[in-house]
Amino acid sequence: MPQTIINHGEERMNKSIEAFKKEIALLRTGRANPTVLNNVNVVYYGTPTPLNQIASISVPEAQVLMIKPFDKYILKDIEKAIQLADLNLVPVSDGVVIRINFPALTESRRKDLVKELKTLAENNKVSIRNIRRDMMEHLKKMEKDGELSEDDLKRRNEEVQKLTDKFIEKIDALTKEKETSIMEI
């Protein structure tokens, strides 16, 4: 039973890490990155459809995204959806494809992005610590109910702490990696 609590907590921590990876993928670096458009939905035949399902997105140059719709008649709809997504990107259509130029980031903008990144990292660390707290509360309840000895409780709490430390280190590593890519010119 205590192992079930720990396994469930580890699963929740893994989900938290995956969510963090998705969040930081949306932070813009100096290069064009197709993941910036992951949350863009285009109304296609009356249905909101993810952009990557109705168009191919490529990076022909370091600071240019090119979107080529599978159906050329939805070019205007894609352009409108990108503008409505509030990504501070300007789509330019030539009638066949849409190009989005990513201007080089200024030093102050890079620093702002790093601040935002660190805030996201701290929020996810808090989330991991909350999961740890829940796990420890469950284990304490088991000890109170007589399902777990005091020594077992101590061992399990140490195991939970090691697991928490491992996930906090993952967040730190992901943050450092993303910070390096943001500050890179």
The pLDDT value recorded for residue 20 is 93
Looking at residue 66, its pLDDT comes to: 93
Domain termination residue (choose one: 53, 69, 101): 101
Residues 111, 172 within the same domain? yes
Q: What is the pLDDT of residue 72?
A: 85
Distance from C-alpha of 45 to C-alpha of 40, rounded to nearest angstrom: 16
Q: What is the pLDDT of residue 46?
A: 87
Task: Note the pLDDT tens digit of each residue in 81-104.
Answer: 988 887 778 888 988 999 998 877
Compute CA 10 distance to the chain's CA centroid, rounded to the nearest angstrom.
Answer: 18
Tell me the pTM: 0.73
- The segments of the chain whose pLDDT lies below 70 read 29-30, 185
Instruction: Say what the pLDDT of residue 85 is.
Output: 83
Same domain, 117 and 178: yes
3-class secondary structure per residue, 5-72: HHHHHHHHHHHHHHHHHHHHHCCCCCCCCHHHHCCCEEEECCEEEEHHHHEEEEEEECCEEEEEECCH
Number of domains forming the structure of the chain? 2
178 shares a domain with 110: yes
Q: What is the pLDDT of residue 185?
A: 64
What is the domain extent for residue 128? 2-26+106-183
CATH of the domain at 20: 1.10.132.20
